[in-house]
Structure 1
Amino acid sequence: MKMARTIGTVTLSRAHPGLQGAQLRCVEVIESIDQLDTQPLGGEMIVAWDLCGSGTNDLVALAEGPEAAQPFRPDVKPLDASIVALLDEVDLG
């Protein structure tokens, strides 16, 4: 699981039937804790299925790979990334 920040929304005119009703967000992965308060990050942008109702600039937990589609089993969803949690606070002390 990775930490990321939402930076936008994706709108689809046509999609796989498994994505009907999906909320898709653009997120930037936070590579280092030093980047936590940096905006914009300027890093890799990923499109992720939003399971949590995130908004722009929210800090989120991101699941990637096969784990991103796990909550939908036995249904098959063509996902590679899912927002699985909204992060209110990060405390490393």
Structure 2
Amino acid sequence: MKPAKVIGNVTLSQAASAFKGARWLVMSPQGPDELTGKNASGVSHGWTPVVYDNLGAGVGEDILYVEGSEATQPFGFPIPLDAINVAILDQIYFKPQL
């Protein structure tokens, strides 16, 4: 699992039938700079993936996500999915080891 901050939503006009009614979030992966406050914006300068969300996370919330084949595990059928939100975090405490 990896931490991220939700920074936006995605609205689809059409989707594969397996994704009817699905929610999609734009997220910013959180690394050491974001978790320690060195990057004050909290938004990483890298890529911003889109994740499937059935937990109801909103913009500004911290989440945990998984990628790859693990993202398809909640479904009982093959589905073309690469990333899924698996937790909404109440608090993150991170102290890097020196």
Fold in common (TM above 0.5) = yes
Instruction: Return the letter of the residue paired with 1:14.
Output: Q
**Residue of structure 2 equivalent to 1:80:** 82
Normalised by the size of structure 2, how large is the TM-score? 0.84
Between structure 1 and structure 2, the one with the greater Rg is: 2
Cα distance in structure 2, aligned partners of 1:15 and 1:89: 33
The amino acid that maps onto 2:87 is A
CA shift for structure 1 position 42: 2.4
Cross-structure match for 2:9: 9
Query: Hey, what does 2:50 align to over in structure 1?
Result: 47
User: Which segments of 5 or more consecutive residues in structure 1 lack a partner in the other structure?
Assistant: none
Question: What is the one-letter code of the residue matched to 1:84?
Answer: V
- Provide the alpha-carbon RMSD of the alignment: 1.4
SS of match in other structure, 1:6: strand
Q: Which residue of 2 aligns with 1:35?
A: 34
| Aligned with residue 67 of structure 2, among 64, 69, 79 | 64
Instruction: Name the amino acid aligned to 1:91.
Output: Y
Unpaired runs of 5+ residues, structure 2, are: none
Q: Percent identity?
A: 37
TM-score, scaled relative to structure 1: 0.88
Distance in 1, matches of 2:82 and 2:65, equals 10
Q: How many residue pairs are counted as aligned between the two chains?
A: 91
1:77: how far off? 2.1
Deviations 1:45-90 (A, max 9, x none): 00100121000011000110010110112x2221100001001112
